[in-house]
């Protein structure tokens, strides 16, 4: 059962990383003026909704068998998202995109770092699980 939870966490962090990668791509395309502000804000908002749902699923899965590090990181990122949603800072209007572009870019890169770190943590947990099974 533990390996299933680790595998689900590995899959979810991979999907979350790809979501953040897509957000970064949207911001870069906007900076290069290849897409409109409306398309960029719509894409970022849709990815933010998906990210929020996946973060909730990740935290629920980790509650069953709390892997302390991944649970703490997941909850921290989820708390930040809930805080942003409570202040309506989560969704970006096309007019606000110029003002929050740098903040959003920094946030995306920080989250990518967290998800990448979690990804390697889950890989470590898989290796640890199988090394115990071999002995």
Q: Tell me which of 70 and 28 has the higher pLDDT.
A: 28
pLDDT band with cut points at 50, 70 and 90 for residue 19 = very high
Mean pLDDT of 28-33: 90
Residue 89 pLDDT level (bands cut at 50, 70, 90): low
Residue 123 pLDDT > 80, yes or no? yes
Q: Which residue has the higher pLDDT, 65 or 25?
A: 25
**pLDDT exceeds cutoff 70 at 23:** yes
Q: State the pTM of this model.
A: 0.85
Cα-based torsion angle of the residue sequence 50, 85, 107, 28 in order, rounded to the nearest 10 degrees: 60
CA distance 20 to 45: 12
Contact 65, 8 (CB under 8 A): no
- Do the Cβ atoms of 17 and 119 come closer than 8 Å? yes
Q: Is the dihedral of CA 6, 12, 18, 21 positive or negative?
A: negative
Bigger pLDDT: 88 vs 20: 20
For the ranges 31-40, 77-86, 96-105, the maximum mean pLDDT occurs at: 31-40
Mean per-residue pLDDT of the chain: 85
Query: Is the model's pLDDT at 18 over the cut of 90?
Result: yes
């Amino acid at each position: 059962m533990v390996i299933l939870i680790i595998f689900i966490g590995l899959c979810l962090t991979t999907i979350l990383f790809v979501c953040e990668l897509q957000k970064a791509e949207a911001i870069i395309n906007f900076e290069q003026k290849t897409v409109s502000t409306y398309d960029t804000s719509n894409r970022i908002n849709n990815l933010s909704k998906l990210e929020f749902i996946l973060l909730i699923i990740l935290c629920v899965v980790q509650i069953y068998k709390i892997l302390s590090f991944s649970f703490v990181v997941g909850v921290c990122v989820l708390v930040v998202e809930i805080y942003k949603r409570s202040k309506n800072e989560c969704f970006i209007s096309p007019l606000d995109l110029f003002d929050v572009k740098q903040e959003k870019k920094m946030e995306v890169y920080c989250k990518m770092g967290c998800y990448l770190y979690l990804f390697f943590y889950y890989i470590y947990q898989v290796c640890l699980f199988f090394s115990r099974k071999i002995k």
